[in-house]
Amino acid sequence: MTVIDRFLKLVSYETTSDENSEACPSTPNQKVLGAELVRQMQELGIADAQMDEHGYVYGTIPANCEKELPVLGLIAHMDTSPDASGKDIKARITDVYSGGDIVLNEEKGIVLSPKDFPSLLRNTGKHLIVTDGTTLLGADDKAGVAEILSAAELLLSSDKPHGVIRIGFTPDEEIGRGADLFDVKGFGADYAYTVDGGTLGEVEYENFNAASAKLVFHGRSVHPGDAKGKMISAMLAAIDFNALLPENEIPACTEGYEGFYHLTEMSGTVEEATLSYIIRDHSREKFEQRKQAVAAAAEEIDRKYGRGIPVGYAFRRIWEGGHGTRSQHYAGVAFDVGQSLGQRQRTAIYNAARASGAWGYVEPLSQTPTWVHFDRRYGTPACRGTTAGYPTLRRGSRGCYVMILQDALSTLGYQTGNRIDGIFGSRTEEALKGYQRRTSLRVDGVCGCNSWKKISTAVIGIGRTKTTID
């Protein structure tokens, strides 16, 4: 089997990875291709070819000389990018390319042109493998897989002396998880090369630092006829966030060692919008600065748009959850996160929370196996013998607990002013007195233990805003 024949067979397998999946591999079809690769390797004479439970394929070409040589590793990934379809690929070999446009799909008017891709002209005089323009080809990195298998076939059928060569095929590289469960120790290579796309004869020995960032913006939808001072557009917040990043530090404006912020996906409504980025830089120092820039931009958007949103979250999460005044959740400053995430991601959140030092308490994962709990506790609890931090509040008090009280009173129909500001002034005092009067509490305008208990019971199931974390 020639390397081209092998490649054309490999691209017929759909192996698109899925960044939203917590499984490994992220899509089951990757294991289907993995099983085929094991079969082909065994057919070539690689006796120990195997696929582990996570879809990683390994095999060994034994040394054929007595000289002790370093163990060489050859690695390629099986998955294809989720950015475009990898299903029902219609690959074909062109005539010798003479320059000019290549019509991929006449019916749909899809043309591959050197006007758009000048590097295409470097392939003049060669046959090219293309698709019909509606899917990925999958050369990234099934070309590498085919090359490694063909190299293995050549080495196993020749007397050319070589040391031990280890082969590894990985899943989920396109979503940044290809190395997560790779058995580095078991692989046992002294040196390893990734066989991937590039110029013929080129060897790259450097790599960039990379990270991904996903930002979720929460807004407030209000009828446009009554929206002044009330509506918060998550989409506009997302636009403003992107504008805070350097305009020309994007892939379309950078080259060589220049780093960038790459917006890969966006979606949104008034109530919620999402931006996904890839962040890259060769310099470790500049890479860390880029991550800090993203965090700083997020904080700026929080300052501009976030007023009142965390309050609704804190209040609903505490009171609707039925925790009441005995909750570990210190209202407004404690979170349960990760219920929809996998163990690996929860562990990462836990480690980050511990390392930051920003949280006074992080629950051991052994006690919260399906989420991560952390909190920062402020104030003396109004109710004796409780763990919850809801402190006694009165006129002049400030902070997140005042915001929660204002949000609660407003939800119950007692207006504390034009906005939730965290300042316990005359309007908040009168609103609290009105509630105390109606519920037969002591009418003193002080939110102590009994007032918190009444309020916690009254607002269960009423909260106005959607959960923003969880």
Bridge partners, residue 372, by sequence: 337
Distance between CA 447 and CA 240 in Å, rounded? Answer: 38
* Six token digits for residue 376: 């920062």
Known catalytic residue at 173: yes
Q: Which conformational region is residue 431 in: left (phi greater than 0), alpha (psi within -120 to 50 degrees), or beta?
A: alpha
What is the chain's alpha carbon radius of gyration, rounded to the nearest angstrom? 29
Candidate list 79, 172, 174, 429, residue with the active-site label? 79
**Considering all CA atoms of the chain, what is the largest pairwise distance in Å, rounded to the nearest integer?**
96
Candidate list 173, 174, 281, 336, residue with the active-site label? 173
SS3 content of the chain, % helix, strand, coil (to 5): 35, 20, 50
CB-based contacts of 126, cutoff 8 Å, min separation 6: 96, 97
CB-based contacts of 99, cutoff 8 Å, min separation 6: 114, 121, 124
User: Judging by beta carbons within 10 Å of its beta carbon (0-12, 13-18, 19+), is residue 422 exposed, middle or buried?
Assistant: buried
Distance between CA 347 and CA 242 in Å, rounded? Answer: 29
Cis peptide leading into 444, omega within 30 of 0?
A: no
**DSSP character for 232?**
B
Phi and psi angles of residue 189, each rounded to the nearest 5 degrees, phi first: -85, 140
Known catalytic residue at 79: yes
Give catalytic residues, as residue numbers. Answer: 79, 173
